Amino acid sequence: MSVGKNMQLVPDRLMPGDTIGVVAPAGPFDRKEFDNGVAILKAMGFHIVVPDDIHIKNGYLAGSDSHRADLINRFFIDRNIKAIICARGGFGSIRILSLLDFESIKKNLKIFIGFSDVSAILSVLYTKCGFVVFHGPMVTSLGDASRKTRKALFDAVSSDAGLAIKPKTGKTIRHGLASGPVMGGNLTTLCHLIGTPFEPVFKRHILFLEDKGEACYRIDRMLSHMKLAGCFDDLAGLVLGSFKDCGPVGKIIGVVDNIFKEYNIPVLAGFEVGHGKNNVTIPIGLNATLDTGRQLLLFHEPATSVEDRA
């Protein structure tokens, strides 16, 4: 691993034949969708380790809290595992945050991938351990994921180039140019971390948000809550991903425009990130520039580094 310009720890790059471990920190999952996703990861050239006890079900959770946290803790200390990807979101990630062994994780940093409910873990790994994590597709969503989604994931964890992410149909809400580490994920999940010991810090960051199945008034309520809590003070910029099944895009943009009208920051919507057809992988914790003129989120360096494997 290497250290970025602002002291972010950048995990080791994945190479052909490297081993990815699968964890289930949230809800249970469909076996067929899971197997299809594993096949995609194998086709990318990686060896996949699936724990024997990953298919445990406990109602709407994939096993007990201790069980789900233990899978993550085990794979972080396993030197043979080069990356960790989550099986599915749903609900449950917030319940295991206090059970994660952050001291051990800090000593064994590696690629960690997930989105949706897993945004809670992404946020905490970045804020508590200071290393770059990846907001990207999970195993159960990879089987029928678009080619763009799969390629973006592979490039993020395996490329030596800085990522350049451009919305297919971008909508500029506030013009401008800003730089800073990128932070964010699922709006509902991040909002529920406010007021906890795991509250995220967005100051001087480019924040990106996405969600699914939330009515427009609920998006308004969550953004208003975060605004009142001071979450957007000294924010560098804002990026909006997909808001699937949340109502007309124009209404959501109107809510965001109103909430952020007093902030002099660039705001760009339309990124293919989240629960939509395409889910482009975003490195969290990595420095980038948001340029609304070019409608571009440009990362300053690769999201991974090459380790000495000699």
Tell me which residues are annotated as active site. Answer: 116, 210, 275
What's the rounded Cα separation, in Å, for the pair 237 and 149? 24
DSSP 8: P
Q: Give the 3-state secondary structure of residue 26.
A: coil
CA 181, 129, 224, 25 torsion-angle sign: positive
CA 165, 144, 37, 76 torsion-angle sign: positive
Neighbours of 268 (CB within 10 A): 26
Nearest residue to 139 via CA among 80, 67, 62:
62
Edge to edge, the sheet with strand 83-86 lists 47-49, 19-23, 83-86, 111-114, 133-135, 282-284
Q: Find the DSSP H helices in 143-265.
A: 147-158, 187-191, 216-228, 249-259
Pair type for strands 282-284 and 133-135: antiparallel
Record the tokens describing residue 120, joined without a space: 């809670």
Enumerate residues 6+ apart whose C-beta is below 8 A from 237: 176, 178, 180, 206, 207, 265, 266, 267, 268, 290
What's the rounded Cα separation, in Å, for the pair 21 and 126? 19
What's the rounded Cα separation, in Å, for the pair 101 and 213? 32
* Cross-strand partners of 243: 211
Q: State phi, psi for 22 to the nearest 5 degrees.
A: -105, 130
